[in-house]
Structure 1
Amino acid sequence: EITEERLLEMQSVLNTTQYDHAVFYQNALEQWLRGDFTNAVDVHNYIWNLQDGTVGEAKRLLTPEEEVNYIDQYFR
């Protein structure tokens, strides 16, 4: 589950480790820390492409109802 605590932890790791795409990750985390997840599909697919993904390309954000159901199913 994406929580502020986890985002801050990811930001801390990013600030203490060398990553090839650090600027991209930092920008994504900053947006998410502001509560704006509208870039989630782009972030997912960017990382998916970096890892030569072949299955699981994101097409759209979940609807609010789908998001609640997903959280209930996997985190509650």
Structure 2
Amino acid sequence: MKKTIVYLTAAFMALGIIALGALKVSDNQGYAESSKSAQVSDEKAMEESTQKMEGLEFVQSVPKDASENALWAMMHKMTHQKVIASEKWGLIRMNDESIAKAEEILIASDFKSKEDLLQIIERWKNGQFDQVDDEHNFIWGMQGGSIGEARGILTEEQEKEFIENNFTGE
């Protein structure tokens, strides 16, 4: 009887070790597949980030007394000119006029996010776009974004292509 218990215990332990090994191999394969999928997704986002988009809006259409949500939407759409993202919905040309309009709305506001957004606007006014992907994601997050997270910043050449594809005939 003791031998049977010892054999059964050894058999269960061996099965447990085999099962753990199989799970580890499965996890590694899943990691490799998800890593490969992320790489393909990043390449697709890079390709799509300069293509023609729908939803062009003009800064003149944003009222001076815009709500905080409207300002978030405006600034979010402005960043699309400069960021790499898998999805971009809507766009407003980021230029001196749109930056000044956003600043004007902010200065006259009592928005909860006023100070954070003024810091972003100040960087944009000074031509500092090295954080624009993080700024996009900050604004996108305030809007409750779940699709279209920025994954980087377009090169100057890519941004020129985006502008040519989307803002000709303004």
TM-score by length of 2: 0.43
Query: Alpha-carbon deviation of 1:49?
Result: 1.0
Q: Counterpart of 1:48?
A: 140
Query: Alpha-carbon deviation of 1:38?
Result: 1.0
- In structure 2, distance between residues paired with 1:55 and 1:43: 16
Q: Counterpart of 1:71?
A: 163
Pairwise CA RMSD: 0.8
- In structure 2, distance between residues paired with 1:8 and 1:43: 17
**What residue identity is the alignment partner of 1:73?**
N
**What residue identity is the alignment partner of 1:39?**
Q
Gaps of 5+ in 1: none
Tell me which of 66, 79, 95 is aligned to 1:3.
95
- In structure 1, distance between residues paired with 2:118 and 2:112: 12
Output one character per residue of 1:11-61: Cα deviation in whole Å (capped at 9) or x when no partner.
011011121111110000001000111111111000111112110000100
Q: Counterpart of 2:67?
A: none
Q: In the alignment, does 2:120 pair up with 1:28?
A: yes
Gaps of 5+ in 2: 1-92
- Which structure: larger Rg? 2
Identity of aligned residues (%): 29
Query: Alpha-carbon deviation of 1:68?
Result: 0.6
Q: In the alignment, does 2:142 pair up with 1:60?
A: no
Task: Give every structure 1 segment of 4 or more consecutive aligned residues whose post-TM-superposition deviation is greater than 4 Å.
Answer: none
Q: In the alignment, does 2:131 pair up with 1:39?
A: yes
